[in-house]
Chains A and B, each alone.
Chain A
Amino acid sequence: MEAKLSFFVHLVRYARGRSPWLFHLNCGGCNGCDIEFLACLTPRYDVEQLGIRLEGSPRHADILCVSGPVTRNTQAALQTIYAQMPAPKVVVAIGSCPASGNVFADSPSVVGPLEKFIPVDVYVPGCPPRPNAILEGIANAIEQLKTKPVTGIGGKSHA
């Protein structure tokens, strides 16, 4: 029984590591990180080589990629979308903006940084980071995703 369970847990962890789906969220950034994120999908970088798919619905996603300093108007949507993602989930903050607010830190309409609202697992520094750095950040997030607890269909948790 124990051996079967551990095989199951290993399989799930392995599958998670090979099938992370992304959802991308721009929290009021300048587009710079977003176009570099988009560039990750394209032939030169191709995130699909890591088994990644960019999803249109947060309900399908495992990794939330956030760019932008979190403006007053996007904050509610950010929290809703994070809540809509089923566990296990990890958050990647792309660029300086979600980490600190960057040049907008003292703006009255910026409420960030991101970690005030949702837990952040990986920071990718840069303004904007190169696509290969974003890939590295996502690969790092995948490693974190694997370590999250495994729950069976019955909802039981296997550490």
Chain B
Amino acid sequence: MSIWEILAENLRQGVVTLRYPQRVPPPARYRGLVQIELEDCVGCASCAYVCVSAAIHVTEERETFCWSYDPAKCTFCGRCVDACPTSALQMQAECPPIYHCAGALAVTYTRAYPRCEGCGKPFKVATQILRQRAYTEVSGEVETLLRLCPVCRQKEAIKSMVEARRIKEATR
């Protein structure tokens, strides 16, 4: 085609511009803001480990952990989503919003550790997804054990061991 034919073709086709604010919708895989499902987060900080621009921080306190995310620093590479063992992170399939002062989009989520049913101390708990991955079938006994903190779980284990020995000796 010569340039004249292209011009004629363009005229014939008419305007292809999207009138602002029209736009092409982002595809399903679009990598927008990272969003966290706090219920599923175990606070393992894998996301922070793979984050190249320090947009994600996970800080641990005694009774809580904080997951903070600053979109101003984010490279939207999606590594954190891939690295999350519990699929707690997702990326929005939507363009992040315009903002006017630095840090305006930053978010911090705080999650209190659940308390141990034995001693009442806060502890890191395995989420549903991790439990299912670790045990093919989550029995009632395992479920009860998982609601205890590691120390209480040890105590519980020793107790049941002592009990077992007692029964063994009694039956002998």
Contact = CB atoms under 8 A, between A and B. Distances in A.
A and B touch in the complex (CB under 8 A): yes
* Interface SS of B by simple majority: loop
Interface residues of A, number: 32
A96 B23 contact: no
A120 B98 CA distance: 13
B99 A123 contact: yes
B51 to A, nearest CB: 10
A135 B24 CA distance: 13
Contact of B75 (A46, A96, A121, A135): A96
Interface string A32-71: 0000000000011110011000000000000000000000
Contacts of B73: 96, 99-102, 105
Contact of B21 (A113, A129, A139): A139
Size category, B interface: 20 to 34
Contacts of B53: 96, 100-103, 105
A126 interface: yes
A36 to B, nearest CB: 12
Given A44-B16, A105-B73, A124 B23 contact: no
Interface string B96-112: 11111110110000000
Interface of A: 43-46, 49-50, 96, 99-103, 105, 113, 115, 120-127, 129-130, 132-133, 135-137, 139-140
